[in-house]
Amino acid sequence: MKRYIGMVMATIVVLGQCLTMFAEKRPTVGLVLSGGGAKGIAHAGVIQALEENDIPVDYVTGTSMGAIVGSLYSCGWSPDKMMRLFKSKDFKYWSTGTINPDNVTKISRNDPTPQWVGVNVSLKDTAGMWSMIPTSLINPIPMNIEFLRLYSPYTLQCKENFNNLFVPFRCVTSDVYHKHKVVLSSGDLGDAVRASMSFPLVFRPIKINGILVYDGGIYDNFPVDVMQEDFNPDFIIGVSVSGPDQKPEQGNIYSQLEDMIIQNNDYSVPSKNGIKIQVPVLQFGVLDFDQAQTIYDIGYKTGLSMVDSIKKRVSARTPLDEVTAKRERFASATPEVIFDSVKVSGATPGQARYLEYLFQGPRRKPFNLEETQESYYRAVTDGTLNNLVPRADFGKNKNILDLDASVKKPWSIGVGGWITSSTNSMLYLDLGFHTLSFNSLDVSLKGWIGQSYYAGMLSGRFSLRSNTPSYLEFMGVAQKQKFYDSELLFYQTSTPTFITESQNFLRMKYVWAAGARAIGFSDLTWGYESDSYYPTNTTDFANASKDKTQYLITALRAGFKGGLLNDDLYPSAGQEWRADIQGSYERSRFTPDGNTELRTKYKDHFRTSLELYWKQFFPIVKHFTIGGSANVLGTLQKLPQNYTATLIHAPAFAPTPSTRNYFNEAFRSDNYVAAGVMPIWTPMGKLQVRGDFYLYSPIRDLKRGPDNSAVYKGWFRKAEFIGEMAVVYNFPFASLSLYGNYLSYPRKNWNFGINFGLLFQAPKILR
């Protein structure tokens, strides 16, 4: 009996093995995905159609965008998950080379300046002048860290062997030095995909095995032969989103580059080996990622139309539920990446120690990918690095974060300015010296030269080695600004300067991080201010002399500010806030009609002020945003000077660039509240149609008393209005705006004009 049972069991085992062998020998299917930029999103749609019809995918090869979609599928991503990535803000940021404002640490961000373009040079290295030329159209900084976060867990999971992924994978890149393609089957998965999509001049290439490698489409944009040679499946499904060479489009730089660089490619699949799916998306551009859903839908519909033809030739089926379960098991086994140490190349020993400190801190503790991202953006935000490429080096005993740093030349030269139809045009020049170390030094000399504004600023910033990121800054500023009593179109000399304000001061400032998105600050200022002015704008200018008021000022200020906007001049997204308190001791004297014999003695004067400021933008529907703002300023002081002098010395409320050049007494006060609303329509890209509408009211009304004295009369006696409509285009380096505005004071105060550039002036003594 026992013998009989044993024979039965043996028979069952043999039958099971035969069934297993039969199952394993089912026809295998290979999926080949072409390159094509944003057009390659259609690959995800085709995959969705295949999965819904139980058509299996056993191997994947891809080039460029086909490598991105193919690699994600090989990492166990469903088409739906891919589309969430392609339509996300993060993907839009890194695919266009834009740093997500949410990732920028406030402490590392420099104050905005009018600079349009800057270059870094070395006085010792004349060959370094080549560093002025950008090496890619797309900034690689955000892409570097995103590829590490996206692919390093799967590199660790497959042990750097792409056969061990959810679906075995190959991608193609190009060695242009040796003039051949390179098929990548192992190593760092992120590097492999990044290399495969590095289209020359658009994306910066990376090194693999010491050789710069570029987009795989240069030599093989449809790797059918790679599929046959590496996997030899029973059936090949080739998905092409590209086509034969066409004439480049005039005015389309990407089309012209593609025609010059991409070699003739064979976009065919031998009929005996499989089938080709040509997705009709040639009308889309290489960077049309904002059309992701449309491109996906076309791919999905095209895939569905080919399903019956594929099923007739492929008998193999894998139910979608089975694929989903396998995908979940693979995802549950994906490890968390923890780095034990940091290794830096491409930098001096001092620079390397500083970068290591940023990522590991003084205790050299292990850190995960989220912490890696935070440290990465802290390292790159201040602009001292050309590039920083992070890679994961997974060893037997520890995981190392390998940082390949490209440090900018220490000297920088920048130019910029503000060109406007009013009298506020100016040229901006900047000379700087920058170091990267524990106690790094940044020194800059800035200059503004304009029709009505002149300024020079020398500053030095010292980064401090402390547990909380912080720095100490010293600055000296000298500036002079001329105000007119109305906005003038172009440069008119017939109207005299109504007010001339001169300021010279020294400031010592300490700034520390109050979290990733906020900073605390305190500063001490010593300065001199001189205001020359006509008592009123109805003066007989031909026969009158200007009055003058002079101030000696010592001020102490402290506060916090935080948040980030997507643009410093014309924002449409983000948040910004500030709260500060300031106390000042001032000594002032008055010289009427420029007559020094009538000059008064210095009078002592104390003032304390508190200011709160907030601005935030809220997306309403696609392409439409509404912003809100509020500003409150309260000041405690006695009024020591005449009305005009007090008004000049008071802060101005000028919420738009076009309202900052002329003197409007209705919008100056040492106590006020203001609120605004900013509806913004963004029909395409960087183009805005925006409105800025504000209500402003002094808390205590400052009025002209007897003998031109300054007196307070009443509370909240009158509200004023500013309304402006503008069409704005934000270039990467400057803004162009066409505007029209209305101010409630004086009557019929309409203004129209055009601006180009960036308008940021030097700091003031008291603001």
- The 3 state secondary structure assigned to 22-90 is HHHCCCCEEEEECCCHHHHHHHHHHHHHHHHCCCCCCEEEEECHHHHHHHHHHCCCCHHHHHHHHCCHH
Q: Which pLDDT score is estimated for 505?
A: 97
DSSP string for residues in 372-437: HHHHHHHHHTTS-EEEEEEEEEE-SS-EEEEEEEEEPPSEEEEEEEEEESSS--EEEEEEEEE--S
Q: Per-residue pLDDT averaged across 473-499, rounded?
A: 67
Output phi, psi for 240, to 5 deg: -115, 130
Q: What is the 3-state secondary structure (H, E, C) of 232-288?
A: CCCEEEEEECCCCCCCCCCCCHHHHHHHHHCCCCCCCCCCCCEEEEECCCCCCCCCC
Cβ–Cβ contacts within 10 Å for residue 460, how many?
Answer: 14
Cβ–Cβ contacts within 10 Å for residue 503, how many?
Answer: 22
H-helix or E-strand containing 316? none
Residue 671 predicted with pLDDT over 90: yes
d(CA 105, CA 101): 9
d(CA 137, CA 202): 5
Q: What is the CA radius of gyration of the chain?
A: 33
CB 213 within 8 A of CB 174: yes
The predicted model scores a pTM of 0.78
Q: Per-residue pLDDT averaged across 223-231, rounded?
A: 95
Tell which wins on pLDDT, 116 or 498.
116
Strand segments (E) across 699-747: 700-704, 710-715, 720-730, 735-743
Q: What is the 3-state secondary structure (H, E, C) of 441-474?
A: EEEEEEEEEECCEEEEEEEEEEEECCCCCEEEEE
CB 693 within 8 A of CB 627: no
Residue 2 predicted with pLDDT over 50: no
H-helix or E-strand containing 143? helix 141-157
Cα angle value 125/129/135 (rounded, 5°)? 125
d(CA 76, CA 82): 10
Mean pLDDT is lowest, of 77-91, 263-277, 573-587, 651-665, for 263-277
Q: Per-residue pLDDT averaged across 166-182, rounded?
A: 91
- Give which of 130, 50, 739 is closest to 409, Cα–Cα: 130
Residue 261 predicted with pLDDT over 70: no
CB 742 within 8 A of CB 749: yes
Q: Which pLDDT score is estimated for 492?
A: 38
DSSP 734: -
Q: Which pLDDT score is estimated for 223?
A: 93
DSSP 596: G
Mean pLDDT is lowest, of 131-135, 565-569, 694-698, for 131-135
- Give which of 184, 165, 164, 166 is closest to 174, Cα–Cα: 184
* Cβ-based neighbours of 678, under 8 Å, separated by 6 or more: 617, 626, 627, 628, 629, 690, 691, 692, 693
Peptide bond before 746: cis, by omega within 30 degrees of 0? yes
Output phi, psi for 762, to 5 deg: -70, 160
Sign of CA dihedral 160, 162, 163, 164: positive
Q: Per-residue pLDDT averaged across 155-162, rounded?
A: 96
Which tokens belong to 358?
A: 């940023």
Residue 18 predicted with pLDDT over 50: no
CB 462 within 8 A of CB 440: yes
d(CA 628, CA 674): 11
DSSP 234: S
d(CA 130, CA 97): 21
Tell which wins on pLDDT, 674 or 286.
674
CB 459 within 8 A of CB 444: yes
Mean pLDDT is lowest, of 492-496, 512-516, 613-617, for 492-496
- Give which of 30, 32, 78 is closest to 56, Cα–Cα: 30
* Cβ-based neighbours of 377, under 8 Å, separated by 6 or more: 99, 103, 104, 105, 108, 145
Q: Per-residue pLDDT averaged across 260-278, rounded?
A: 79
H-helix or E-strand containing 581? strand 575-591
Output phi, psi for 44, to 5 deg: -65, -35
Output phi, psi for 568, to 5 deg: -75, -30
Q: How far is CA 458 from CA 433, 454, 504, in A?
A: 12, 14, 12
CB 43 within 8 A of CB 299: yes
Residue 372 predicted with pLDDT over 60: yes
Q: Which pLDDT score is estimated for 540?
A: 55
Mean pLDDT is lowest, of 172-186, 374-388, 412-426, 609-623, for 374-388
Sign of CA dihedral 354, 358, 363, 369: negative
Taking 3-state DSSP, the helix, strand and coil percentages for the chain, each rounded to the nearest 5, stand at: 25, 40, 35
d(CA 258, CA 36): 10
Residue 541 predicted with pLDDT over 90: no
pLDDT in tens, 35-89: 988 999 999 999 999 999 999 999 999 999 999 999 999 999 999 999 999 999 8
Which tokens belong to 579?
A: 């709260």
Cβ–Cβ contacts within 10 Å for residue 134, how many?
Answer: 11
| Three-state SS at 713 | strand
Output phi, psi for 15, to 5 deg: -60, -40
pLDDT in tens, 405-448: 988 888 999 999 999 988 889 999 999 998 888 778 899 999 99
Q: Per-residue pLDDT averaged across 565-576, rounded?
A: 92
Long-range contacts of 163-166, Cβ-Cβ distance < 8 Å, separation of 24 or more: 165/74, 165/75, 165/76, 165/189, 166/73, 166/74, 166/75, 166/76, 166/326, 166/327, 166/330
Average pLDDT, the chain: 87
Q: Which pLDDT score is estimated for 129?
A: 47
Sign of CA dihedral 595, 597, 599, 602: positive
Identity of the amino acid at 694: Y
| Three-state SS at 767 | coil
Question: What's the CA dihedral at 83, 86, 89, 92 to 10 degrees?
Answer: -170
Q: Which pLDDT score is estimated for 135?
A: 59
Strand 274-278 versus strand 235-240 pairing type: parallel
Locate all alpha helices (DSSP H) within 197-319, ordered by sequence.
224-230, 253-261, 292-313
Percent of the chain with pLDDT over 70: 89
**Where does the pLDDT of residue 263 fall: very low under 50, low under 70, confident under 90, or very high at 90 and above?**
low
- Give which of 381, 388, 414, 384 is closest to 402, Cα–Cα: 388
DSSP 766: -
Residue 8 predicted with pLDDT over 90: no
**Where does the pLDDT of residue 703 fall: very low under 50, low under 70, confident under 90, or very high at 90 and above?**
confident
